[in-house]
Amino acid sequence: MSDASYRDAIYSTPLDRTARFSFDERVVACFPDMIRRSVPGYGQILGMLGLIARRHLRHGAHVYDLGCSLGAGGLALAGSLAPDAFRYTGVDLSPAMVARAREILATECPEYAMEIVEGDIRRLDYRPAGMILLNFTLQFLEPSERDAVLVALYEALEPGGVLVLSEKIVDPDEADNAWRVERYHDFKRANGYSELEISQKRTALENVLVPDTLDTHHARLARSGFTRSLTWFQYLNFASLVAFKEPGIARAEAE
């Protein structure tokens, strides 16, 4: 496919046995529509990346976007930073995503130093980086594999570096969690998804997308070496955190 992006209708017809969700060609073809209609705050989170980079990223530093899908994190940075401000490596496990992301970056920002690598973030040989994006990716790893990845990312970050971690989350309070999930389903209905689409996708994501609590995320970040982490954004059961490697002092704060 070329530059078209289709409306997500993957779960709109009854499926005998809903297959496990995977990032295949069908998902790639409608991914921009799917993620915008299914992730509350997705656009707002992307919109902040450039502003966070302006405060925390050393000029010319390397940025990783792990589980980059179509490179939206890189496009967001390119939208607010000059071509010499950063070098970007997007990494994704899905060959279909990687192929499409390369086309998009070549078309949208040819003057930027941006590459897409097909790879597994659990096994990558990380180079030093000033900023690492994990935008809705950690949630797809087995919970038992998450700590080791965070430790590797902490080690790859340069002192003063920043990690942005965005995730679907679960609330330990059952009633509060139920309220957020119900309103999330309302959010999906308001964005045009039917009851069938909502319920079939929910089944397809079972044991594939396993959300943690915010406390679990902050505790994991602390165990991995991050001396400071905070939740900067939450919209229903979706949140984004920042974590800093010492000396993680923003330029404005240091002035």
Ligand X SMILES: O=C(O)C(=O)Cc1ccccc1
160 or 212, CB closer to ligand GEK? 212
Query: Which 3-state string (H, E, C) describes 70-136?
Result: CCHHHHHHHHHCCCCCEEEEEEECCHHHHHHHHHHHHHHCCCCCEEEEECCCCCCCCCCEEEEEEEC
State the binding partner of 91 from ligand X, ligand GEK, none, CB within 5 to 8 A by kind: ligand GEK
Q: Give the β-pairing of 238-244 and 228-235.
A: antiparallel
Among 53, 63, 74, 135, indicate the residue that binds ligand GEK (CB under 6 A). Answer: 135
Among 57, 81, 85, 91, indicate the residue that binds ligand GEK (CB under 6 A). Answer: 91
159 upstream amide cis, omega within 30 of 0: no
Residue 161's nearest CA partner among 240, 58, 41 is 58
Neighbours of 30 (CB within 10 A): 17
121 binds ligand GEK (CB under 6 A): yes
Residue 34 token pair = 């799917």
- Minimum CB separation from ligand X for residue 52, in Å? 22
- Minimum CB separation from ligand X for residue 244, in Å? 27
State the binding partner of 205 from ligand X, ligand GEK, none, CB within 5 to 8 A by kind: ligand X
35 binds ligand X (CB under 6 A): yes
136 binds ligand GEK (CB under 6 A): yes
State the binding partner of 135 from ligand X, ligand GEK, none, CB within 5 to 8 A by kind: ligand GEK
Which residues, 194 to 233, sit near ligand X by CB under 6 A?
201, 205, 209
